[in-house]
Structures are given as C-alpha cells and as structure tokens.
Amino acid sequence: MHKSHGQRIGYLSRMSHRYFSEKLGAMGIGPGQTFILKSLYHEDGVHQESLVDNCQLHKANVARALAKLEENGLVKRESDLNDKRAKLIRLTPKAIEIKDDFFTAFRSWSEMLTQGFTDKEKELSFELLDRMAANVEPYYGDKNN
C-alpha cells in the first residue's frame, strides 16, 4: 500500500523514541528530553522560555522535561534575580561528562536514517524536511508551540 509523507514521518518519529530510549535511557535521559539537552549543550545558562522556542515544544512539556532532567541530576534550575518569574537553566558537571556519549548516540541515529545516502541526498533530505517544517510553522508556530 502507498504510504504517505505523514505516515512515514510518524513512523520515524516513533522509532526515534525507541532508539533514544535504548541509547540514552541508561544515562537518565528520556526521549522527550533529548532535544532540550541538545539545545543546552549548544547554549547553556538560558531561560526556560528560550528552550521553548529552540525546541518548538509546548512550555508545559519543557517544564516537565526539565523537572525530570533535574531529578536525574543533569540540570539545575535557579530563579533569575532580575525577573523572579523566570528560571535560568544550567547543565551540571554530570551532564558535561556525558556530552560525548550523548552526541555519539545522537549522531548515530542520523547516520542510521541516512544509510546508503549520497552526500547530496543527505543534504537534500535535510533541506526538504526543513522546508516542510517551515511550511507548517506559519500555521502552528505563533501561539505557544
């Protein structure tokens, strides 16, 4: 049977959860925390709100993911003294320690996806996904993710 874009994307998304659970679960990272953590490795000490933007997740889920990361000792949340509503998120030494393992697992998923792709195809597959996401953003990007 013909399978649609949507079906393929859903399948890949579900499989990625299984993959990340398997690879990162032992470090105390659930599949719902991967992108948040990745964003923090890229830029640490940010407001929770900027993680909402970066990861395009709902603020409720960012709150819960961070609670979990904190519980597992990967992140610290402290109030911003300049704005007592806001919280600053910082990676712990434990998180820094596992950074390499994290990225290894992270990259290996991309490599699994693009097995047998030429460099051109790898680039193109990424670009097309990016454009699909960009097509959707106007409809869903504004409100609250």
Partner DNA sequence: TTAATATAGTTGCGCAAGCAACCAAGAGAG
Partner DNA sequence: CTCTCTTGGTTGCTTGCGCAACTATATTAA
Q: Find out whether 40 and 91 touch, Cβ atoms under 8 Å.
A: yes
Whether 52 contacts 7, CB under 8 Å:
no
The distance of closest approach from Cβ of residue 54 to a second copy in the complex, given in angstroms and rounded to an integer, is 6
Residue 43 partner contact from DNA, a second copy, none using kind-dependent CB cut-offs of 5 to 8 Å: a second copy
* Residue placing its CB nearer to DNA in the complex, 120 or 143: 143
- Cα distance between residue 59 and residue 53, in whole Å: 9
Contact letters for DNA, residues 45-74 (x by CB under 7 A): --xxx--x----xxxxxxxxxxxx------
The yes or no reply on residue 48 touching a second copy (CB under 8 A) is no
Question: What is d(CA 44, CA 40) in angstroms, rounded to the nearest whole number?
Answer: 5
Cα atoms in the Cβ-side hemisphere of radius 13 Å centred on 52? 18
Least separation in angstroms between CB 84 and a second copy: 28
6 binds, among DNA, a second copy, none (CB under 5 to 8 A by kind): a second copy
Rg (CA), the chain: 17
Q: How far is CA 74 from CA 7, 21, 38, 116, in A?
A: 34, 16, 12, 35
Residue 30 interacting partner from DNA, a second copy, none (CB closer than 5 to 8 Å by kind): DNA
- Site residues for a second copy, 4-33, by CB under 8 A, read 4-16, 18-19
What whole-number distance in Å separates Cα of residue 45 and Cα of residue 77? 9
Footprint on this chain of DNA (rule: CB under 7 A):
10, 14, 17-18, 30-33, 47-49, 52, 57-68, 77, 82-87, 143-145
